[in-house]
């Protein structure tokens, strides 16, 4: 195998592969995926499985409900998760472990580090981590929403060498291959830009899963910036995994950054969710990544949202440019007091005695303008 340089791989398998007919789990497409996992382990390549499918696997327990409520979907996930784990376990003669996550777990740095430690401990003892979003308890504010992006966050947390995302098509096409006969597959992507995103569509209307090519590209962008080579392959074809084992790209490969982002900055940029926003002067011209000690309350125009000391916030200019995510050294309440008491003697003294609002080691400068979601 030419991919012996892989030491750790994250494999993402979607609902349509687990339960294609929403009538419980099926081995129809899982046999060749399980074989690939076994072959990797035989070559001492550690595998982490990110597996969707709990809702689809549990749907048949609830009859033919055309439009299930949120509560019913959560119940389907609870019932289907056991069935999904049992389905995977029957293929293997080694132990597996279930890890259910929410975005709330990943965006809290202490819990994020705890997840890393758990994954490493499982792998060290030869146990297969099987990870899924915890659909039973998650809320809109705490959910990742799709397992493509979850798999990229897991790959970053686990310091993986490769991320393999299974799709229902062979890879990324310049047009929708389901509707355009002249669609051409892109074999390699070296830079994920607007043109690449323009090729992606949403989830198929009649599909079982929640993701589409859009979320797969988002996942690839997260993973490659951490130095993780990312593949989109057709999970329905056994040949996809045979080619991977032979070191051949069966779909679309996204090349990894030559200089990956530091772990803390990657987490801040791609995993954490901004709890609020600082708006600063548009003419702020300091190189904020190198001299952020100069960034004080004097430059603040507006404080948006409610956040505490230590929360991740978005930093924007008055003209709407989003250029950084950072760890706040002060709460929104304190910053609001400082900025709204202009001219007050005590406030002015405090403004000049306090340290920086953010510190240079706790800021991630955005390479391109992003519309980061906040909880405001």
pLDDT digits (tens, 9 = 90+) for 93-118: 999 999 999 888 888 888 989 999 99
Collapsed DSSP state (helix, strand, coil) of residue 165: strand
Burial class (CB in 10 A: 0-12, 13-18, 19+), 201: middle
Collapsed DSSP state (helix, strand, coil) of residue 208: coil
pLDDT digits (tens, 9 = 90+) for 293-333: 455 666 778 888 888 888 888 888 877 777 788 888 888 88
Q: Is the pLDDT of residue 251 over 90?
A: yes
Is 79 a member of any domain? yes
137 and 283 share one domain: no
- Poorest-confidence range of 144-158, 245-259, 281-295, 299-313? 281-295
57 and 99 share one domain: yes
CATH for 316 = 2.30.130.10
> What does the pLDDT read at residue 287?
52
Report the distance separating Cα 364 and Cα 219, nearest Å.
19
Report the percentage of the chain scoring pLDDT > 90.
40
* pTM of the complete model: 0.79
CATH for 250 = 3.40.1160.10
Name, in order, each residue with C-beta under 8 angstroms of 36's C-beta and a sequence gap of 6 or more: 11, 241, 244, 245
69 and 88 share one domain: yes
Report the percentage of the chain scoring pLDDT > 70.
82
Name, in order, each residue with C-beta under 8 angstroms of 92's C-beta and a sequence gap of 6 or more: 34, 37, 38, 128
Last-in-domain residue among 251, 266, 281: 266
255 and 277 share one domain: no
Collapsed DSSP state (helix, strand, coil) of residue 229: strand
Q: Is the pLDDT of residue 269 over 70?
A: yes
Last-in-domain residue among 266, 284, 318: 266
Neighbouring C-beta atoms of residue 321, cutoff 10 Å: 12
323 and 230 share one domain: no
> What does the pLDDT read at residue 103?
85
Is 3 a member of any domain? no
Is there a contact between 244 and 130 (Cβ–Cβ < 8 Å)?
no
Query: What range does the domain containing 194 cover?
Result: 8-266
329 and 346 share one domain: yes
Last-in-domain residue among 266, 300, 325: 266
Strands 322-327 and 363-365: antiparallel
Is 358 a member of any domain? yes
181 and 325 share one domain: no
> What does the pLDDT read at residue 25?
83
300 and 197 share one domain: no
28 and 66 share one domain: yes
Is 161 a member of any domain? yes
Is 372 a member of any domain? no
Tokens 């056994």 belong to residue: 238
Averaged pLDDT for residues 355-363 = 72
Q: How many domains does the chain have?
A: 2
- Sheet of 188-189, strand order: 96-101, 128-133, 46-51, 8-13, 162-167, 229-234, 252-254, 188-189
Averaged pLDDT for residues 248-269 = 84
DSSP symbol at 374: B
Q: How far is CA 81 from the centre of its chain?
A: 21
213 and 348 share one domain: no
Is 371 a member of any domain? no
Tokens 């952020």 belong to residue: 292
221 and 286 share one domain: no
Is 1 a member of any domain? no
Is there a contact between 267 and 338 (Cβ–Cβ < 8 Å)?
no
């Amino acid at each position: 195998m030419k991919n012996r340089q892989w030491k750790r791989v994250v494999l993402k398998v979607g609902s349509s592969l687990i339960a294609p007919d929403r009538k419980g789990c099926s081995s129809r497409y899982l046999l060749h995926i399980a074989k690939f996992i076994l072959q990797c382990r035989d070559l001492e390549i550690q595998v982490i499985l990110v597996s969707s499918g709990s809702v689809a696997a549990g749907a048949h327990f609830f009859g033919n409900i055309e439009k299930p409520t949120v509560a019913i979907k959560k119940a389907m996930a609870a019932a289907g998760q056991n069935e999904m784990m049992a389905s995977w376990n029957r293929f293997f003669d080694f132990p597996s472990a279930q890890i259910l996550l929410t975005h709330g777990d990943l965006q809290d740095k202490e819990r994020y580090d705890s997840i890393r430690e758990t994954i490493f401990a499982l792998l060290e003892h030869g146990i297969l981590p099987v990870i899924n979003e915890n659909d039973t308890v998650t809320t809109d504010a705490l959910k990742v929403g799709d397992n493509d992006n979850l798999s990229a966050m897991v790959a970053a947390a686990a310091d993986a060498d490769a991320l393999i995302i299974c799709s229902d098509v062979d890879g990324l096409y310049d047009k929708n291959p389901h509707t355009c006969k002249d669609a051409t597959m892109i074999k390699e992507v070296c830079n994920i830009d607007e043109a690449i995103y323009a090729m992606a569509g949403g989830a198929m209307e009649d599909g079982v899963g929640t993701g589409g090519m859009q979320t797969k590209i988002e996942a690839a962008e997260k993973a490659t910036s951490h130095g993780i080579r990312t593949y989109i392959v057709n999970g329905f074809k056994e040949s996809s995994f045979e080619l991977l084992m032979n070191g051949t790209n069966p779909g679309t490969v996204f090349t990894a950054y030559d200089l990956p982002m530091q772990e803390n900055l990657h987490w801040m940029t791609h995993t954490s969710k901004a709890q609020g926003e600082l708006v600063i002067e548009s003419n702020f011209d300091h190189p904020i990544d190198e001299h952020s000690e100069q960034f004080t309350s004097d430059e603040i125009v507006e404080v948006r949202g409610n956040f505490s000391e230590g929360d991740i916030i978005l930093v924007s200019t008055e003209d709407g440019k989003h250029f950084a995510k950072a760890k706040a050294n002060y709460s929104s309440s304190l910053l609001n007091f400082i900025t709204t008491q202009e001219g007050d003697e005590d406030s002015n003294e405090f403004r000049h005695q306090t340290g920086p609002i953010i510190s240079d080691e706790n800021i991630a400068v955005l390479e391109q303008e992003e519309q980061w979601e906040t909880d405001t």
